[in-house]
Structure 1
Amino acid sequence: MFGPFERAVAGRYLRARKGERFVSVIAIFSLVGIALGVATLIIVMSVMNGFKADLMGRILGLNGDLSLFGVARTIGDYDDLAATVRQVPGVVTATPLIEGQALLNSGSYNAGGMVRGMSMQGLRDLHEVSDSLVAGSLDKFVGNDAIIIGVTLAERAGLSVGSKITLISPNGAATPFGTMPRIRAYHVVGIFDAGMNDYNVGYVFLPLAAAQIYFEMPAQVTQIQVMTRDPTNVRPVRQAIEQAVVGDPRVRVLDWTQSNNAFFGAVQVEQNVLFLILTLIVLVAAFNVISSLIMMVKDKTGDIAVLRTIGATRGAIMRIFLMCGASVGVTGTAIGTAIGIVFCLNIELIRQFLQSLTGTNLFNPEIYYLERLPAKLVWPQVFEVIGMALVLSLLATLYPSWRAARTDPVEALRHE
């Protein structure tokens, strides 16, 4: 498409000579603008992808892909029901558990928290907790006074393995003097770091038998938590479970798309809006390409007239300026892509460096849920950004190149 003649002339025009520096500076700013726009798009989209994937993995990892809840608050004969659910294709684990709220007390520390009671095997299957123990051992998760807590709760309450923490529930026994809260002390046998501040500070785990005693639910649980092979395709599994327990009026089935869909939907909308807003950066840079090419065409009017008189066609003139503009777009896109990918691959190191340099917390886990800055490169999305930048850059060159091709050599040379 581009012959040696067009490439030679375009290369000569891109190398600014004395008296032509201003046009070259505008072209450089256009290149920098495209590079920054592409890099920003790749970085922001990757951070949003990482945030969504990490958040989804941790929320589903701790809460399950779907759950069976008791219509009358509790479920009896839960072992048989869990065994039935495990037979459903696509189900990995089905864990009976008790979940309830309590006040967590240790010395002067008091805070509300969520108490979960589950078997040792159930806790082993909950990899977000069992694989993230920073102290203690799951082997001691037995008896009626064992408890596993989060690392943030341990730090704030000054607890370690072997320490005592007291659970206080307002739903106690009724007496002539009113309802007496249930109070029970437990020994810390393990400390976990789930990577999410809300879970590290607000969730504690008891053995299932101990939770049944504390919440006064003998031989009962509040739900059966189910993990599936593919959380993104959970609806067919939910429908299969509903068919398997269709004759059991005690339970209702709820998957994560029903319980957390609004939250993940908000994250997706935010990602789409950011993409549209940041695309404007590339669009502004494309307008700079238009302005620099128009100025180049004005500056090279005499050269264009000479080229036309010695036999250059309108198509050749158009291709010359197309190459000039496309070179800026392609180079800027390539530089921006390289910057964006390198930044994403080292984003946590960069964050820690900036934090140490400024002395401020740039990613507060209490606000952003996660304790590190995630980034996930989705290559189809990266190629989409590259394609969009190249298309905008190419479109920006069409009008100035067309104007250059329409130059009348007679009118252009009349005033020379």
Structure 2
Amino acid sequence: MTQFTSFFSRRGGEAEGSPSVGADSAGAPPFGAYERMLALRYLRSRHSRWLPSAIAGLSITGIAVGVMALIVVMSVMNGMRDEMISKLIGVNGHIFVQPIDTPLTDYRALTDQLQKVPGVTLAFPMVENAAGISSPQQQTGALVRGVAESDLKRLPGINGNVKQGTLEHFDDDVGVVLGQRMAEVLGVQVGDKVSILTARGAQTPFGVTPRLKAYPVKAIFQSGLFDFDQLIVFLPLAEAQAFFDRPNDVNIIEGFVAHPDKVDDVRAEIVQQIARPIMLTDWRQRYRSFFDVLKVESDAIFLILAIIVAVASLLIVQGLILLVKDKGRDIAILRTMGATRGSILRIFILTGLAIGAVGALLGTALGVPLALRLEDIRSFVNRVFDLNLFPADIYHLSQLPSSLDPHEVIGVAVMTLCLSFLATLYPAWRAARLDPVEALRHE
């Protein structure tokens, strides 16, 4: 306290006729030099000017951990959403045209019309049916899609993702293209044969009989979407039409657009240009429930982690209350020397804000690089400790995605500062209300 006494003495006695300490303090601008000096002094340890006190250190650590966790988890949730959208609409299309009243026997003309719509980058007819698929080792369910070779090569989820075999002569050499996960389940490789079974076979006097046919595995792909790699089987379009008794029609036409977020504009053009009765849906309608669940999870996790930051901010309340109690004598002396209640209030507000700011900066400095290198860290931990963090069969992705949003990082930092400010109000008010006579009476 001696240094503060000399500080006020120098200010009060600089020259004859100068204003008193009380007047000088009252007339000083908010958050002046001596208020900042005292606030920083209360943050430092008594044994080292470069280390924070134990109370401040705990508060800073709690806030930093909360901010870091919030940045990392929100980045993962953003990455999962972006990855899911890119994979789903990369292999499943953006718009879907299905027939109403009459079968799509005019699918070739309708496909040509779709490809001429502004904004549509790719449209192709497809036969899609559920079926069973088996090998000598195993059997499972599949979604069989009949697609022409030229269209299959242009699919974003397939183009460049073939790991074994080739798509060349797909139409001529009648065979199947499997996802890597399905190939692992069935225990097959390129060249092995699999059998496809459908309950909708030939019509006989005894009813409809199942149809079973063996095909060689021509290629194996890995789209990066676990469910897709485990479910989808591609057949040549003509072969799928024959196998599922659709010799002259298809049951769906898929289309890709240049800007999936602006699919409404394309839909309006399609409705205007196509007179045939069709049922038109887009990727948002098909996967609405999935992305709604993902958004609810993201909001819930944000709320939970925000509560963690709020709990960490309560450490500021506790720490400042203890600090006010510990510095009661100093506060009383400052008041008797002319420091106003507003000045004392600002000192402790500055102390709490400094704790929140340092915690937010430290949490951001740790959380941003961690979010950017999360997949590398996961791979390293799995390799060193022989673990399986983020298994693909549960999270439906082969890698741990992370997408850092600068606006969210700034929002988390601002939220932390606001919570820190609110946490300082009560302890600072208690310090400002401290009666100097009562405080010094017990010394």
Is 1:146–1:188's contact at 8 Å kept on the other side of the alignment?
yes
Alpha-carbon distance between aligned partners in 2 of 1:378 and 1:208, rounded to the nearest angstrom: 42
Deviations 1:192-231 (A, max 9, x none): 0011221112111112122222222123111110111222
Aligned to 1:392: 419
Aligned to 1:316: 343
Give 5+ residue unaligned stretches, structure 1.
none
Q: Which moved more, 1:86-95 or 1:34-43?
A: 86-95
Aligned to 1:169: 198
Query: Does structure 1 residue 306 correspond to structure 2 residue 301?
Result: no
Aligned pairs for 1:161-310 within 5 A:
161-245=190-274, 247-249=275-277, 251-310=278-337
Give the length in aligned residue pairs.
410
Give 5+ residue unaligned stretches, structure 2.
1-29
Deviations 1:94-119 (A, max 9, x none): 11111112211211321110111112
Aligned to 1:380: 407
Select the residue among 58, 61, 80 that pairs with 1:29. Answer: 58
Letter in 1 for 2:356: G
Greater radius of gyration (CA): 2
- Tell me the secondary structure at the aligned position of residue 157 of structure 2: helix
1:367 is displaced (CA, Å) by 1.8
Is 2:149–2:169's contact at 8 Å kept on the other side of the alignment?
no
Alpha-carbon distance between aligned partners in 2 of 1:98 and 1:2, rounded to the nearest angstrom: 73
Is 2:114–2:270's contact at 8 Å kept on the other side of the alignment?
yes
1:392 is displaced (CA, Å) by 0.3
Select the residue among 125, 128, 133 that pairs with 1:99. Answer: 128
Deviations 1:171-201 (A, max 9, x none): 1112245433222222222110011221112
1:357 is displaced (CA, Å) by 4.5
Select the residue among 334, 351, 355 that pairs with 2:378. Answer: 351
Aligned to 1:109: 138
Higher strand share: 1
1:360 is displaced (CA, Å) by 3.5
CA RMSD between the two structures: 1.9
Letter in 1 for 2:190: V
1:135 is displaced (CA, Å) by 1.4
Alpha-carbon distance between aligned partners in 2 of 1:401 and 1:89, rounded to the nearest angstrom: 63
Alpha-carbon distance between aligned partners in 2 of 1:358 and 1:285, rounded to the nearest angstrom: 31
1:153/1:302 CA distance change after superposition, 3 Å:
same
Aligned pairs for 1:122-133 within 5 A:
122-133=151-162
Query: Does structure 1 residue 402 correspond to structure 2 residue 429?
Result: yes
Select the residue among 129, 132, 137 that pairs with 2:166. Answer: 137
Alpha-carbon distance between aligned partners in 2 of 1:140 and 1:364, rounded to the nearest angstrom: 36
Aligned to 2:9: none
Q: Normalising to structure 1: TM-score of the pair?
A: 0.93
Letter in 1 for 2:70: L
Alpha-carbon distance between aligned partners in 2 of 1:352 and 1:389, rounded to the nearest angstrom: 31
- Tell me the secondary structure at the aligned position of residue 37 of structure 1: helix
Letter in 1 for 2:357: V
Letter in 2 for 1:306: I
